[in-house]
Copies of this chain bind each other. A is one copy, B any other.
Amino acid sequence: MSGGRLAATDVVVGYSRGSRVLDRASLAVPEGRRLAVLGANGSGKTTLLRCLSGALVPASGRISLDDAALEHTRRGLQAHRQQVQLVLQDPDDQLFSASVAQDVSFGPLNMDLAEDEVRARVVEALELLAVTGLAARPTHQLSYGERKRVAIAGAVAMRPRVLLLDEPTAGLDPSAVTEALAALDRLQRRGSTVVMSTHDVDLALGWADEVAVVVDGRVVQGEPEPVLGDDALLARARLDRPWALSVGARLHQLGLLPEGPLPRDTEALLAALPTGTAPTTPGRS
């Protein structure tokens, strides 16, 4: 476990009932790559993200940034939070202000930045999340998807090096998911490392450069294809195998897909398949 600037090493988190949520879990966040943290509900993926963000103190093990261990002191946490931000699943757990722009300004102001700088960061964060039009709207009138994006903007305005997102696409419809992923792309291009937790294996396969599956309190990390193609692991993790890997593998056997990595989503699969002669829509409508 090394190479990641943000990392968890042998982290143990135990809850009251005796069973451990995380049991010597280790994760290295690869810098500049997209990491999807996968796991069933209750597997401990949120707990892992909360440990990485400093919100939760593990019973043992360490969280490190640039190989320096995080100290859970007021000062240590304050420094850590300027580099690592966690966006929670429920936006109502992070939005407190009546106005969108004011809410986004909260984090930068807590960093003791000058007012002009705060203002600039608010504008930038709203733009990156494509919610500039909502700046003057009251928080309580926003839709769920809009509140989610404003909550992300609140973290982005602090310009963290690593952005951790707990289920950013949960509850969003397909077009909102597309918009959210596009916003994450813009963030990444700007140099942030983006980590997303999800239980949607198809989404993870299509989006991530690297995946980490939280199972039995530990983490299995690696490239998407081998990890998400490991049926035994997925069964233990109570996750499904992505359809694209199942279908792709069969089509590969049938000689219909070229050598190399399997396509990861519908578009890639259709592009890789030989074209037929009839139109692509089925003729039954």
A174 CA to B198 CA in the complex, in Å?
11
A42 CA to B245 CA in the complex, in Å?
33
Binary flags per residue of A240-276, CB closer than 8 Å to B gives 1, else 0: 1001111111111110100000100110011001101
Chain B residues positioned under 8 Å from A276 (CB to CB): 250, 253-254
Chain B residues positioned under 8 Å from A171 (CB to CB): 41, 170-171
The majority secondary structure among interface residues of chain A is loop
Query: Given contacts A170-B170, A226-B285, is CB(A274)–CB(B262) below 8 Å?
Result: no
Closest approach, in angstroms, between the C-beta of A207 and any C-beta of chain B? 15
Asked whether A144 is an interface residue with its Cβ less than 8 Å from the other chain, the reply is yes
Q: Specify which of B175, B249, B265 is in contact with A282 (CB 8 Å cutoff).
A: B249
Asked whether A66 is an interface residue with its Cβ less than 8 Å from the other chain, the reply is no
Binary flags per residue of A166-201, CB closer than 8 Å to B gives 1, else 0: 000011111110000000000000000000000101
A251 CA to B269 CA in the complex, in Å?
11
Chain B residues positioned under 8 Å from A39 (CB to CB): 173
Residue of B nearest to A249 (CB): B282
Q: Specify which of B144, B226, B238, B247 is in contact with A266 (CB 8 Å cutoff).
A: B247
A226 CA to B176 CA in the complex, in Å?
24
A63 CA to B192 CA in the complex, in Å?
52
Asked whether A114 is an interface residue with its Cβ less than 8 Å from the other chain, the reply is no
Residue of B nearest to A39 (CB): B173
A240 CA to B246 CA in the complex, in Å?
21
Chain B residues positioned under 8 Å from A19 (CB to CB): none
Query: Given contacts A171-B171, A239-B173, is CB(A143)–CB(B270) below 8 Å?
Result: no
- 8 A–B pairs (Cβ distance < 8 Å), ordered by A: A39-B173, A40-B175, A226-B284, A243-B243, A248-B282, A249-B280, A250-B273, A253-B280
| Residues of A in contact with B (beta carbons under 8 Å apart) | 39-42, 143-145, 170-176, 199, 201, 225-226, 229-231, 238-240, 243-254, 256, 262, 265-266, 269-270, 273-274, 276-278, 280-282, 284-285
Q: Which 8 A-B pairs have the closest CB atoms?
A: A253-B276, A173-B199, A226-B285, A175-B238, A40-B173, A174-B240, A249-B282, A243-B266
